[in-house]
Structure 1
């Protein structure tokens, strides 16, 4: 048995990393908010972080496309999470694809301290390539929830975020005017 013979201190929490990923409009942030609110109901100390650059709905709150929200702390770099998370039992991180490549190490450090870390973000960019730190987070996470949206072209499960505007930069904040969810077939039709 793994960890056989290792004694855990009494009352010690078991830390973990959970990743919620998928394309735009699949409900990633909605699921993150749901899990964090359940942790709050359980009277756990919860901290939520998001990239300072994401001000689409609100400067400080994490807000889903359905306009559900939860207060958060906007940060510039993932290492700030370590400085701002003392005495925390559950940490939520939204739009994780926009954070730096140090995010998986930050999450591992937190989980090793007994903290439950819940991360939400896009797993692929608009070209269909692995996006930012999410693939590495998926590899080290105890739990991965990959959800789909609905393809706006054919109604099939959508796993891709198709960019509607002619811009090539990887990081482009946008909503329905800039992106739509598509299945693999419909995503590749207009490439």
Structure 2
């Protein structure tokens, strides 16, 4: 009977970059993916098809960094399109269906490095979409913070400046601003 040596086992993992809007999540995702490309790794990047804020195809950060991606309407499509890759990037994971958790697990178990970026909380300060489950199964988590536009403290909440109440509402500085806990709840009560 042949037993494979431990050090040749192909190991994948899940990295998550989370935080509020304007904290640099997508910028960090792009940085990690470009480094993988520089290392000549086979990389595929995916984003939800509903996110067309900056570009229909590219993943674009607020500071205009960009990387080519494939928009997908359902998480299962990622498994179909991520054939023979070493690194998979997924942006705006909070907008995907709950199946994204199993997609990430399947990829990681097959030896793929999976890098996921997304909002951990919605505009009301509640866990957002599949992000709690993604965070629970991640091997590495990086939580980024923005700066509160009201007081200058560390911000980890995305405050919605409009009266809209739907959970998913694409927008930028016209609709959202980063706030610290105190300023966020002060705004919620106003």
TM-score, normalised to structure 2, is 0.95
The secondary structure found in structure 1 opposite 2:152 is: coil
Residue 86 (structure 1) aligned to one of 61, 83, 88: 83
Give 2:100's aligned residue.
103
Instruction: Give 1:52's aligned residue.
Output: 49
Aligned residues: 186
In the other structure, the counterpart of 1:3 is: none
Q: CA deviation at 1:12?
A: 4.3
Question: What's the C-alpha RMSD, in Å, of the aligned pairs?
Answer: 1.2
Aligned-partner SS, 1:91: strand
Q: CA deviation at 1:175?
A: 0.2
Structure 2 counterpart of 1:122:
119
C-alpha change, 1:10 and 1:143, in structure 2 (3 Å) is: closer
Equivalent position of 1:165 in the other structure: 162
State the SS of the aligned residue for 1:18.
strand
Of 26, 32, 54, 2:23 maps to 26
Q: 1:39 aligns with which of 31, 36, 43?
A: 36
TM-score by length of 1: 0.95
Query: For 1:8 and 1:126, how far apart are their aligned partners in 2?
Result: 48
4+ runs deviating over 3 angstroms = 6-12
Matched, 1:150 2:147: yes
What SS does the corresponding residue of 1:190 show, helix, strand or coil? helix
Q: Which blocks of at least 5 consecutive residues in structure 1 are unaligned?
A: 1-5
Aligned to 1:140: 137
